[in-house]
Amino acid sequence: MQMPFCSMLWDRSPAPPEDAITINGTVVVAKNFGLSAPGKSTTLRLFSGTQIDHGTRKGKLSTEAALRGGKKSKHGKTSTVTYHVTFVVEAEFGTPGAVAVKNGNRADQFFLRHVRLELAHDRSIHFECNSWVYPYKKTNSDRLFFINTSYLPSKTPEALLLLRDEELRSLRGNGRGERKDWERIYDYDYYNDLGNPDNPDHVRPVMGGTRMHPYPRRCRTGRALSKTDEVTETRKHVINLDFYIPPDERFSPGKLAEVLTLGVQAVTHFVVPEMKTMIQGNNFKSIELLTRDLYTKPSQPAADGEVMEQLKTSVPSKKTYKQVAKNVKDTPVKFPIPQVIQHDLEAWRSDEEFAREMLAGLNPVAIKRLQKFPPVSSGGKKSSITAEHVESQFADVTIEMAMRQNRLYILDHHDYLMPYLRRINTLGVCIYASRTLLFLKSDGTLKPVVIELSLPATDGGDGEISRIFLPASHGTDAHLWQLAKAHVSVNDSGYHQLISHWLFTHAAVEPFVIATKRQLSAMHPIHKLLEPHFKDTMQINTLARSILLNAGGILERTMYPGRYALEMSSAIYGDWRFTEQSLPNDLVRRGMASRDPAMPGGLSLHIEDYPYAVDGLDVWRAIDGWVRSYCAHFYHHDTDVEEDTELQAWWDDVRSVGHGDRQGDPACWLDLDSVDNLAETLSTLVWIASALHAAVNFGQYGYAGFPPNRPTRCRRFVPLPGSPEMTQLEADPDKFFLEMIPDRFTATLGLALIEVLSNHTSDEVYLGQRATSTWTDDGELLRLLDRFREELRRVEKRVTERNKDPRLNNRRGPVKVPYTLLFPDVAGTEKGLTGRGIPNSVSI
């Protein structure tokens, strides 16, 4: 049971003191779907922030005050109800520092937006709450909120010290028991909820806590356990909402309805293709018919009836269900035309576009500069690529010259895949490990010069069978080259979704969310800095585990690793380092840039027209400037960082528990022993949660919404010379290609997924924005945030100018899609499939 931190510690109805004075205030509550409003039985009390009650060692306490009135109001786009309240306090009460709220409802919680007090001499005090308050009958404790002034632990007013400590201990819980919906407890757990040991086909290893399967931790839910495996949690529904996450991490009712609408349509896409497959067959007949079938046919049914019935048993209220049903009815299922084919249906096939997307597509974080030729695997085996293969593709340049001039690059999907290929290829797919070498041309574009596709040796040993493919524009060799590029794209699609997107942003951030809530008080300045960058992350990750990552889920059905997806991502996590996740360090690690003090930001890019890096460095510098000025406002000396007890406990929680499987690598983490290291750490975290996630998420539909451009699995290998398959390829190359990439059902399901993921929801809060202007009462911080916003607006102008520059060939490419994934969109006006804008958090 959650420990009540301020219950039963005072007489709730003492007589008002003789020298009493009154403090008037307003209480604003969100108007929620299907929930009762707080009534007269809901009361509030004030704690003094300056005067101590020596009996409790906490701030002096006001008498209990009930809510009055209840007038409909509006705060931004949110419908609210505003109440009035009057507190009676003694004349020597001092300045309020906290407010305790008791929900007197019998059953329903309410969402408290803020409390505002009017003091003498035109002074006011604001409590920014934005939190669910559950009935006292369930929680046995009042809900405490502090004023929106930030204090380091050592600077906390004495009257608030014990309250601050009790609140944190309450949030940590005791690590035992099944979680109840109303409990605000943040604890860690392994990824033990993906499989179902009662179904032999759905048994999956637990991720995290072992050398074999290291993984970041997730939030512990404490739900009922499977009857056959005491460490495995179970799920019930297709669209599953029956899970615990702390109340403050849940979607707003409006966003929940919006996401459920998208989810229903995605699951409907899952059902409708099965019917189409039975009627029309499971293969697309041609590229033209694929395009017509997916994007221009009459709309499909709005939703499958069975899906809606299952949803009805899972949503938290009837009103939410009705809103989702209305949204679904008003928005029939139909795929929009993706950007990659809006201007030209054939441009995606070109070598230039294939290479350009490694710099400006949806996965621009995997390409590396080639630093050793021929490439060598981690086990020491040399690639079968020879100098003759490469040098035949460019004139008057040797490999040594090209490498010395930083002109050879590699997309390497070899080493991490080889140990899994035998198992993956038993799942009905045909997957290679690949290496692709690229040459930097004088016009700044990349030219793919050779592709190596490898399979494990057939004798069961550790040998490899490799084939080499060279660019060609005519005849059979051109068809083989197109197939080889498709196999590379399959590798890259899997790496993108499982590693670049899920592991390196979603999964990597969640332990920081948990540690922040467990160890940093809401009054702590670093808590206030990070809070907007954690919004909705825990809920979207829980949904992902329920629908996408679970055994038999959408990812296993659409991506080539299938049941081995999370296991493979675990192996890659074993080499993950937080210190390498900042953009400058990542670019240097991949050999895409070198340290150069003479250049802006101290970096020199080896490919000057690298849109992700160029725009990203602008955004990184803006984030880093904001974070450093914020830290300097509170930490004036390195010792201030070292002596911050909450901060050090937070960092220990992250390293030893949340990312505990990586604590043995000293290069993985910086020591928090200086202001500089703190700022570097926080800038990296903000970068991951905002810009990195935006770069690898919101371009998914624009590029992968056309399945031939980014296939997610292959059903056939590249044919061998003289084989019947080669005869089929030569007879009808497009038919062979379409029979190789995902079938109608898999492709449609994959599109449904990435359409959901690529959407900006209506309540998105973008980088440089805050949900409210009252998040702090510190005028200097508000000025620093304004300066950050102005810098982001300058970044927007530079991005727009670059996209108009005809000399920068990689900004638009043959498909004529401008690079806008790192356009900040400080105004935050565009919603839906915009392909632009950097939200604050990993929220979809």
Q: Which residues are catalytic?
A: 501, 506, 693, 697, 844
Distance between CA atoms of 713 and 560, rounded to whole angstroms?
Answer: 5
**Which of helix, strand or coil describes residue 191?**
strand
Token pair 């056959």: residue: 228
Distance between CA atoms of 463 and 469, rounded to whole angstroms?
Answer: 20
Question: In sequence order, which ranges of 281-340 are alpha helices (DSSP H)?
Answer: 287-291, 305-312, 318-330
Distance between CA atoms of 279 and 274, rounded to whole angstroms?
Answer: 9
Query: 357: burial class by Cβ within 10 Å (0-12, 13-18, 19+)?
Result: buried
Instruction: Give yes or no for a contact between 250 and 314, defined as CB atoms under 8 angstroms apart.
Output: no
Distance between CA atoms of 147 and 132, rounded to whole angstroms?
Answer: 17
- The number of helices, as runs of H, and strands, as runs of E, in the chain is 27, 21
**3-state SS string over 747-788?**
HHHHHHHHHHHCCECCCCCECCCCCCCCCCCCHHHHHHHHHH
- Residues in the chain, total: 844
Question: Smallest Cα–Cα separation from 351: which of 447, 441, 443?
Answer: 447
* Residues sharing a CB contact under 8 Å with residue 634, sequence separation 6 or more, in sequence order: 150, 152, 525, 640
Question: Smallest Cα–Cα separation from 172: which of 524, 518, 660, 432?
Answer: 518
**Which of helix, strand or coil describes residue 425?**
coil
* Residues sharing a CB contact under 8 Å with residue 69, sequence separation 6 or more, in sequence order: 82, 83, 84
What tokens does 716 get? 């056939």
* Beta partners for residue 218, in sequence order: 189
Output phi, psi for 779, to 5 deg.
-60, -35
* Beta partners for residue 189, in sequence order: 218
Question: In sequence order, which ranges of 393-551 are alpha helices (DSSP H)?
Answer: 399-404, 418-424, 475-495, 508-519, 525-530, 537-543
779 Ramachandran zone, left/alpha/beta (phi>0; psi -120 to 50): alpha
Distance between CA atoms of 737 and 760, rounded to whole angstroms?
Answer: 33
Four-point Cα dihedral 551, 500, 360, 743, nearest 10: -20
Extended strands (E) in 578-710:
593-595, 603-605
Token pair 């009390």: residue: 45
